[in-house]
Structure 1
């Protein structure tokens, strides 16, 4: 049963949102959710699922000689199936409540709708990193479950052993690398459907009327070639704050694990889809990297190793030409990867 004041707005909520004038709300709960800005988006090739064919073996070739035949060979392939999930939010505001503020009714609905959009963005960003279909079949498979063991050559151990660990990610976005997938016949991004006035029931089964808006977003992740991504895990946050973790050294290790190392806009000649590599970390690690890069670990120079770049009109820090994105969805409380 939905509870007034918990699931639905009441008059007190409206007054808190700005009083008689319905003032602008400070979005103090807004977080940085940058992954979707960089994402390469493709449509599923199997309804709500996307099947990728991955080459696991090259065809055999042989040295030739005059008057001799050519040995036959074939490549080996395997198929990987990725699924999508969807997040929904339903905003319902009592029509009698809107009637009390007729001049601000549209703004009230917009204000509440923006909260749903932010909540969905945070939910989706978190799922991109940590969602696991083996734990929740409604969700899609995120990146952390795919890079969850040190036996993976592209998982680098940061040395942390406690429960206050964080990760840094290198993700290459591209058709042949990592993509956000959306179901067939459904547009990418958040879909808003204004349901208008609806008759609903209260907890006692009595009817009343609300204005409803339905927000929906479908998405999933497909990793076609795992070699183009890397995860630096087990970075002890307390050690980072104490300044005893060499983040540049960890970034260097991850960099040399990447297939086809390149920056955001560099291309590899002859490759159909070069992709673009972006580094993701949370604010704690970004600040530590900035401090480490400004003065050098020995303090003997003032060479700034991070450089600003402009990407789609936005200035971001970059490391070896790859942009660094801060995301609040990457936690400081990850368990140790073994």
Structure 2
């Protein structure tokens, strides 16, 4: 897996080319400041409406040794069909017209009010990228955790058990974004990412039925996820956050377990996609402290977008606060 190189478009790539008015691009840039993972992710249009049909290779064919004047039987690879779905997130914004006009710049006032809506979409999208489960919540989409949530499953080969046994656990994720690895989805014929529509002025009612004039906005985001090759991702699970220390030699063995996860990846540093490590604020804090230890050579500090963040073997470790410190034990 090549690190931080890919030909598939991210949201910034798409809208920097397509948005002539630059209004959508401003929204995307705000999203980039709020949540790294949404900008790292690569996007693909569904091939079946709001669903995406793919195949996952489950067996690699091998050639046959032959002798002169002796034939061979053609080999055949084995694949498993996979159907991923998208979910629809929607919300409305409502601002009292008189209040917005009083500000002297109604458009700017509405934009500032709508920032909270944008953050809410960001939070939910990134949370469901990890914890979404369409089996228990059919209107949502399937995220990473249900795909890597059993040591006994085939994908369990790419889970490192950090040893936590209670319910104060978190995870560190290695995700490889790419066309043949992991990517986000959007329905066929639609637009990728967060969408905003100005509905203009409308007469609305308050909680007791009184009417007033208001500016209304509609927000929408259709999103799904496809994991074409589970071998390209890895999860360090069962990290007990109560055992974390600033010294990598004691407490939870973060670096040791991350190195194990690195070598579970299929051909790390080669092939398709870009690999990024995700951890929450708690983990990233302790990794930063451990990186400051001069005895450590595997964990270093790199600079991305003007920020210093820890990296492991050249892979950036980015923060995703939607990753919980209250995960149940993976067995």
Which residue in the other structure is 1:216 paired with?
220
Task: Tell me: CA distance 1:158–1:31, structure 2 relative to 1, closer, same or farther (3 Å).
Answer: farther
What SS does structure 1 have at the residue aligned with 2:145? Answer: coil
Of residues 195, 198, 201 in structure 1, which corresponds to 2:202? Answer: 198
TM-score, normalised to structure 1, is 0.80
Alignment partners' CA distance in 2, 1:32 and 1:135:
28
Which residue in the other structure is 2:151 paired with?
150
Correspondence list, 1:80-91, <5 A: 80-91=82-93
RMSD (Å) for aligned C-alpha atoms: 2.2
Alignment partners' CA distance in 1, 2:172 and 2:296:
23
- What's the CA shift for 1:305? 4.0
Which residue in the other structure is 2:240 paired with?
236
Q: Verify: 1:183 aligned to 2:187, yes or no.
A: yes
Deviation track 1:75-126 (CA, whole Å, cap 9, x = no partner) reads 2221111111122221111223334x15132222111111111111011111
Which residue in the other structure is 1:16 paired with?
none
Which residue in the other structure is 1:251 paired with?
258
Q: Verify: 1:166 aligned to 2:167, yes or no.
A: no
Which residue in the other structure is 1:287 paired with?
285
What SS does structure 2 have at the residue aligned with 1:153? Answer: helix
Task: Tell me: CA distance 1:286–1:240, structure 2 relative to 1, closer, same or farther (3 Å).
Answer: same
Correspondence list, 1:54-133, <5 A: 54-59=56-61, 61-99=63-101, 101=102, 103-133=104-134
Does the CA-based 8 Å contact 1:33-1:329 persist in structure 2?
Answer: no
Unaligned runs of 5+ in 1: 1-29, 269-273, 296-300
Of residues 42, 45, 63 in structure 2, which corresponds to 1:43? Answer: 45
Task: Tell me: CA distance 1:314–1:37, structure 2 relative to 1, closer, same or farther (3 Å).
Answer: farther
Which residue in the other structure is 1:8 paired with?
none
Does the CA-based 8 Å contact 2:291-2:300 persist in structure 1?
Answer: no
Deviation track 1:154-193 (CA, whole Å, cap 9, x = no partner) reads 1111111111111001111111110011111111121110
Which residue in the other structure is 1:26 paired with?
none
Task: Tell me: CA distance 1:202–1:278, structure 2 relative to 1, closer, same or farther (3 Å).
Answer: same
Q: Which has the higher helix share?
A: 2
Unaligned runs of 5+ in 2: 1-31
Deviation track 1:250-296 (CA, whole Å, cap 9, x = no partner) reads 1111112111112xxxx44xxxxx2111111112111212222332x
Which residue in the other structure is 1:20 paired with?
none
Alignment partners' CA distance in 2, 1:32 and 1:202:
32
Alignment partners' CA distance in 1, 2:286 and 2:184:
30
Does the CA-based 8 Å contact 2:95-2:216 persist in structure 1?
Answer: yes
Which residue in the other structure is 2:273 paired with?
275
Q: Verify: 1:34 aligned to 2:21, yes or no.
A: no
TM-score, normalised to structure 2, is 0.82
What SS does structure 2 have at the residue aligned with 1:288? Answer: helix
Alignment partners' CA distance in 1, 2:33 and 2:244:
22
Moved over 6 A (4+): none
